[in-house]
Amino acid sequence: MVSMKTSKRSPGRPTEQHKTERMLEVVGHIVCAEGLSALTMERVAREAEVSKATVYRRFGSKEKLIKDYVQITTNNHPGFPPKLTTAENKNLDHLIDTGCWLLSLMCKKEIVQFDNALAAGAESYPELAQQVLDAGYERAIDITLDALDFLRHAPGPDCADDRELAEALLGLWSGGLLDRVRFGKHVLPNQDALRRHIRARTEIFLHGLNSPQLSRQK
């Protein structure tokens, strides 16, 4: 019988996933600390301790590097995606859970710093900054749309366009709170206060739809 040798990875050698995570951590650190102009593929390679070829092979461009950072940061936020509850008022509860999750993500310190750095770099990198900010907003809209999926099966007259509904609800949820956290010295309310904030605005939204199935929860 001929024995077959199996190759072994050297102890301590980082996997591709670990390399990717390390590169994205470096992206967040550089942009938040020094701004968009300080971010280069070469610097990411140096600080992540990988080859420049590895950075280009994995991401291809600075734009892709930043967009992937935003995507991974969203997906790694605890509780993603918010789970549909089995409670009696599951539609309302799921919307509230989704709103709380989104606002806690959007007001997260690292996200606020990153978005502010993008806004500050908009003059030098207008297209890139706008693309990334738009991508973050579109991601929030997509998550809100998923939470509103039950409306497609609700009885009664057709409502407004799905996207318009998602934009309206997201606007109600953020309702000045996001700007106060991002541009002022306010901190995100604790979970109980945040949930009350989201609940009140979600009930306003559902009441505005005027559908018997979406009655206000006591």
Q: Where are the domains of the chain?
A: 16-74, 81-214
> Which string of b and e fits 145-162 if b means at least 16 CB within 10 Å?
bebbeebeebeeeebeee
**Please, are residues 16 and 50 in contact by the beta-carbon 8 Å criterion?**
no
Q: 104: helix, coil or strand? A: helix
User: Is this model's pTM higher than 0.85 or not?
Assistant: no
- CATH architecture label of 81-214: Orthogonal Bundle (1.10)
pLDDT score for 212: 47
What is the rounded CA–CA span in Å between residue 139 and residue 186?
Answer: 25
pLDDT score for 8: 45
* Domain 16-74 and domain 81-214 have a common topology: no
- CATH architecture label of 16-74: Orthogonal Bundle (1.10)
175: left (phi over 0), alpha (psi -120 to 50) or beta: left
Instruction: Per residue of the chain (218 residues), give pLDDT as tens.
Output: 333 343 444 445 568 889 999 999 999 999 999 988 899 999 999 999 999 999 999 999 988 898 888 888 888 877 766 676 655 568 888 899 999 999 988 888 888 888 888 888 888 888 888 888 888 888 889 999 999 988 776 655 455 588 999 999 999 999 888 888 877 766 778 889 999 999 999 999 988 886 544 443 43
pLDDT score for 57: 94
pLDDT score for 119: 83
Each as own residue / partner, the long-range contacts of residues 73-82 (CB below 8 Å, 24 or more positions apart, any chain) are 73/24, 73/28, 73/110, 73/111, 73/114, 74/105, 74/136, 74/139, 77/101, 77/104, 77/105, 77/108, 81/143, 81/146, 82/147
